[in-house]
Amino acid sequence: MTPEPRPSVLEIAAYVPGRASSGSAGKQHKLSSNENPLGASPKAREAFIAAASSLERYPDGGATALREAIASRYGLNASRIICGNGSDELLSILATTFLSPGDEAIFTEHGFLVYRIVTLAAGATPVVVPETGLAADVDAILAAVTPRTKVVFLANPNNPTGSYTSADQVRRLREGLPDGVLLVIDAAYAEYVRRNDYDAGIEMVATRDDTVMTRTFSKIHGLAALRIGWAFAPAAVIDAMHRVRGPFNVNAAAIAAGVAAMGDNAHVDRSIAHNERWLPEVSERIRALGFGVPPSVGNFILIDFAPVAGADAKAADAFLGARGVVLRQVAAYGLPQMLRMTIGDEEANEATFAALKAYHEGLGVG
Ligand SMILES: *Cc1c(COP(=O)(O)O)cnc(C)c1O
């Protein structure tokens, strides 16, 4: 007889990553996974290569050097940092650690898909709450709380919408949640945000015992291939997560490259400057073509095809793909008439404008 997985596992729709290529001939502009168009820090690349000299050794299971590099960069206590094989792994560890069958985890309508996956994998029940204007709605989240609520996942900024929740609103959310509910603030894109009323949540985590912030090296640090994430959390949460994590969950090359990346502020600054230059221009030029572009504070935008008569996101994706422009379908996020575009380098951005313009013209509506 075939062994049966936990029933909720069969409710999981496996995560579909952004495509690397459309399969068309010629150069591919991969704008489907919010990767850094400037690549990794050269210092991180050197450290990765140097790590090849001792591949027979297990890594430091506690990723001490990496935790210390992060702690020193952000002025945190290293013992309150835990590293993971991507922040996805940390989200999974949090779900496994805190959710039991019968518990509920809340996240928002267009929130990051991993929250649903890790909740179901833990045998718990996902509770999806509506957003307002493609952004998290604190009142809707609070209204969904029940005695079974154990975890609230908030992506801030959110992927794929690009919206963010202001520090005041996050505080209001936290204060409105009952005691004992874990708030997980996923701040994967925090470095990109240029808003005075935004806060990644460090202060809140530092001063409470029920809130966690997760971060990643996959986005601004350009190290997605190495799978490095970290979380800042209360001591008791860290202790519980260490019991659950794999003994050597972050590999040696990742630790070495991560330490070097943490020390390369110039590369982070260049990446921020690139995004600051291109995010407004990409948004405005695509709006000028007639498509909708909701405001984004991340390194990506949504392109809404609904405002253009005859346009269709799936057809546009195929049209762009044939021209080597690889965007991301977001129907799985409840946004079937939109595509997500990562801010690329100049060539990729120009290729996207040209392809979108050609697609629009091909619709015969001017
Ligand atoms: C990309 C992303 C992550 C990071 O995932 P890693 O596992 O660290 O690569 C986490 N949360 C959100 C919302 C993301 O978009």
Query: Has residue 366 got a pLDDT over 50?
Result: no
- Quick check: CB of 289 below 6 Å from ligand 1? no
Mean pLDDT along residues 328-340: 97
- Quick check: CB of 186 below 6 Å from ligand 1? yes
pLDDT digits (tens, 9 = 90+) for 263-300: 999 999 999 999 999 999 999 999 999 999 999 999 99
pLDDT digits (tens, 9 = 90+) for 342-356: 999 999 999 999 999
Amino acid at 284: E
- Quick check: CB of 155 below 6 Å from ligand 1? yes
pLDDT interval class at 365 (50, 70, 90): low
pLDDT interval class at 3 (50, 70, 90): very high
pLDDT at position 177 is 98
Report which protein residue has its CA nearest ligand 1's atom 12: 188
> Which of 35, 90, 159 has the most ligand 1 atoms within 8 A of CB, as the residue to mutate?
159
pLDDT digits (tens, 9 = 90+) for 219-272: 999 999 999 999 999 999 999 999 999 999 999 999 999 999 999 999 999 999
Region of 128 (left: φ > 0; alpha: ψ -120 to 50; beta: rest) is beta
Report which protein residue has its CA nearest ligand 1's atom 14: 188
Report which protein residue has its CA nearest ligand 1's atom 11: 188
pLDDT digits (tens, 9 = 90+) for 50-77: 999 999 999 999 999 999 999 999 999 9
- Quick check: CB of 173 below 6 Å from ligand 1? no
pLDDT interval class at 322 (50, 70, 90): very high
- Quick check: CB of 162 below 6 Å from ligand 1? no
Å from CA of 218 to ligand 1 middle: 7
**Pairing mode, if any, of strands 125-129 and 104-108?**
parallel
Q: Angle at the Cα of 284 (from 280 to 289), degrees rounded to 5?
A: 155
Å from CA of 345 to ligand 1 middle: 21
Å from CA of 169 to ligand 1 middle: 22
d(CA 293, CA 338): 9
Percent of the chain with pLDDT over 90: 98
Buried/exposed 133-172: b ≥16 CB within 10 Å, e otherwise? ebbbbbeebbebbeeebbbbbbbbbbbbbbbbbbbebbbe
Query: Has residue 200 got a pLDDT over 60?
Result: yes
Q: Tell me, what DSSP letter sits at residue 135?
A: B
> What domains lie within the chain, and their CATH numbers?
7-39+266-362 (3.90.1150.10), 42-264 (3.40.640.10)
Average pLDDT, the chain: 97
- Quick check: CB of 161 below 6 Å from ligand 1? no
Å from CA of 95 to ligand 1 middle: 15
